[in-house]
Amino acid sequence: MEESGYGEHFDGMDFDWFAVDTSGEIGLFASSGYGEIPLEVRRNFQAYDTITSGFILPRLGTSAVWKDYAWYGLFVYDWLHYSGPYIKQAEPVILSSRIHADLRKRILAIPGLPHLNVLFSTAREVVIQR
């Protein structure tokens, strides 16, 4: 059973969320409807939806969409159906320390934003523990 009743919002629905690595880089994680999503992310899902809904993604619906996210300065990970882990799909065109200051500020202000003990620049895959 899902803790705190947040499961019904995410089961079977793709959800994109952010995390920060040990060097301060930002990664986007696409759950593909089955991926592990930390509880704090689930609790604050509206903040993630607000930010991701503002992205311009001309290649949405194709595997090239990962390059659209990378254009924003994000490392991009997608959940491997059905058992995971998250696998790197794209690296940023620019490092997130150089992404638009407003976008970086908005992401870093998300309550409970996960900070992962990993370097996105070298991690091909990321395992998330709920």
Q: What is the pLDDT of residues 44-80, one digit of tens each?
A: 999 999 999 999 999 998 989 999 999 888 999 999 9
pTM assigned to the model: 0.87
Residue 6 has pLDDT above 60, yes or no: no
Q: What is the pLDDT of residues 28-52, one digit of tens each?
A: 999 988 889 999 999 999 999 999 9
Residue 1 has pLDDT above 50, yes or no: no
d(CA 51, CA 117) in angstroms, rounded, equals 24
| 20 domain-assigned | yes
- The domain in which residue 109 lies consists of 3-117
| 130 domain-assigned | no
Q: Given this model, what pLDDT does residue 83 score?
A: 81
| 83 domain-assigned | yes
Total domains present in the chain? 1
| 55 domain-assigned | yes
| 29 domain-assigned | yes
